[in-house]
Amino acid sequence: MLPSRRQFLQSATASGVSAPFLRAAVTKLGQGEHQYRVVPNWGVLGDKTPVKNCHGIVQDREGHIILLTDHLANHVIVYDKKGQLVHKWGTAFPGAHGLSIVTEGRQQILYITDLVKHKVVKATLDGKILDEWLWPQQTGLYDNEDQYRPSWTLHLANGDFFVLDGYGRDFITHYDARGKFVKIFGGQPGGITHWGPHGGMADLRDPANPTLLIAMSDQQYLLRLSLEGKKLEKVDMPGGNPRQIRLHKNRFYMAHLGDNWPKDRNSRGFVSVLDKDLKVLSNIAGTPPVYGDDGRLQPMKHQEDTFIHPHDLIVDDDDSIYVAQFASNDTYPIKLERV
């Protein structure tokens, strides 16, 4: 089993040997204009605030970094930008997975998907549950709730949202701003490959023409859909395993779980920075992106052992990146500073 981040730090301090994680802290990661270094020991909170799998991560308007973990002691952990604990809450999401933050009126709201309880939950930042959505039984596309395992929610400016059933039957369910069912599309009958629609975002850069940008995880590509489910664009990410994609200052940032996942579940991941047209500019802890004469991206691979399995990320106003990791030996989020 791979040592945890905290074990790296502790063993290095005790032995005087520079562990791989500590080397990464003083090494420039990535290429070109998008290079970073690790902030050592950021967000490590100790036994009183444990984590298991760190699935989702967002930032609120106060600058707090909000982490979602499936540890039963505390599902939602709120940090300040220095990595200190602000507060924590939640013990009722055993399958905590996707985390989204939206503004409704003057209030910021969290949407949490739960793989085990087969539902989406809407909550305030301090943990008050406002609403929930169970399996879409009325569609007739599911025999029982166990077939529905929602992975993430994607949100429009008007309050409508879409639920990705990335671990179930791969359908995408559309709800209006009041939380009422609108339609369902995708799934394997709709040409959406299984183990595909894991995370993503609503691309709102053109307000008159919003689209859904889906991270197709094990399929190693991004898929752009219309709001009706029509396939508009496919962008290959060979060697990557895109779990989530975020937009910041007209750049996209993508968390890849592993360079040979799921064939090799010990394979390590990396983080990509992409331009506005989804061309890879830099691979943080990965090999430099190379495009062939035909314009095709060549297979990517992890290079430095900075990450284990990146699952989600967020970028703050200083261009620092915070990475949450899955199946990474209880690793707290990793913060990267731009250099």
CATH number of the domain at 308, please. Answer: 2.120.10.30
312 vs 25 pLDDT, higher one: 312
Mean pLDDT check: name the lowest of 6-20, 25-39, 159-173.
6-20
Q: Looking at residue 27, what is its pLDDT?
A: 83
Q: Looking at residue 189, what is its pLDDT?
A: 92
Mean of per-residue pLDDT scores for the chain: 93
Q: Which residues contact 264 (CB under 8 A, 6 or more apart)?
A: 258
Q: Looking at residue 29, what is its pLDDT?
A: 98
pLDDT category of residue 7 using cuts at 50, 70 and 90: very low
40, 22 in Cβ contact below 8 A?
yes
Q: Looking at residue 15, what is its pLDDT?
A: 31
Domain count, the chain: 1
Classify residue 225 by burial, with Cβ atoms within 10 Å: 0-12, 13-18, 19+.
buried
Q: Looking at residue 30, what is its pLDDT?
A: 98
Distance of alpha carbon 24 from alpha carbon 47, whole angstroms:
25
Computed from CA positions of residues 6, 8, 53, 315, in that sequence, does the dihedral angle turn out positive or negative?
A: positive
Q: Is pLDDT at 24 greater than 80 in this prediction?
A: no
Q: How far is CA 239 from the centre of its chain?
A: 18
Comparing C-alpha atoms, which of 250, 233, 241, 249 is closest to residue 311?
Answer: 241
Q: pLDDT tens for residues 78-117?
A: 999 999 999 999 999 999 999 999 999 999 999 999 999 9
For residue 132, give its domain range: 5-338
272, 286 in Cβ contact below 8 A?
yes
Q: Is pLDDT at 268 greater than 80 in this prediction?
A: yes
Q: Looking at residue 10, what is its pLDDT?
A: 38
Q: Which residues contact 2 (CB under 8 A, 6 or more apart)?
A: 266, 308, 328, 329
pTM: 0.92
Q: Looking at residue 211, what is its pLDDT?
A: 98
The pair of three-digit structure tokens given for residue 83, joined into one six-digit string: 């990595």
Q: pLDDT tens for residues 226-259?
A: 999 999 999 999 999 999 999 999 999 999 999 9
The partner residues of 125 in beta bridges, in order of sequence, read none
Q: pLDDT tens for residues 59-87?
A: 999 999 999 999 999 999 999 999 999 99
Give how far Cα 142 sits from Cα of 135, 148, 233, 243, Å.
Answer: 8, 7, 28, 24
Distance of alpha carbon 124 from alpha carbon 258, whole angstroms:
33
Comparing C-alpha atoms, which of 160, 271, 136, 288 is closest to residue 215?
Answer: 271
The 3-state secondary structure of the chain reads CCCCHHHHHHHHHHHCCCCHHHHHHCCCEEECCEEEEECCCCCCCCCCCCCCCEEEEEECCCCCEEEEECCCCCCEEEECCCCCEEEEECCCCCCEEEEEEEEECCEEEEEEEECCCCEEEEEECCCCEEEEECCCHHHCCCCCHHHCCCCEEEECCCCCEEEECCCCCCEEEEECCCCCEEEEEECHHHCCCCCCCCEEEEECCCCCCCEEEEECHHHCEEEEECCCCCEEEEEECCCCCEEEEEEECCEEEEEECCCCCCCCCCCCCEEEEECCCCCEEEEECECCCCECCCCCECCCCECCCCCCCEEEEEECCCCCEEEEECCCCCCCCEEEEEC
Q: Is pLDDT at 161 greater than 50 in this prediction?
A: yes
Q: Which position has the token pair 């999401």?
A: 93
Q: pLDDT tens for residues 114-142?
A: 999 999 999 999 999 999 999 999 999 99
- Report the pLDDT averaged over residues 185-214: 96
Computed from CA positions of residues 81, 84, 85, 86, in that sequence, does the dihedral angle turn out positive or negative?
A: negative
Comparing C-alpha atoms, which of 240, 249, 151 is closest to residue 200?
Answer: 151
Q: Is pLDDT at 6 greater than 80 in this prediction?
A: no
| Residue 46, number of CB atoms within 10 A of its CB | 9
Q: Is pLDDT at 16 greater than 90 in this prediction?
A: no
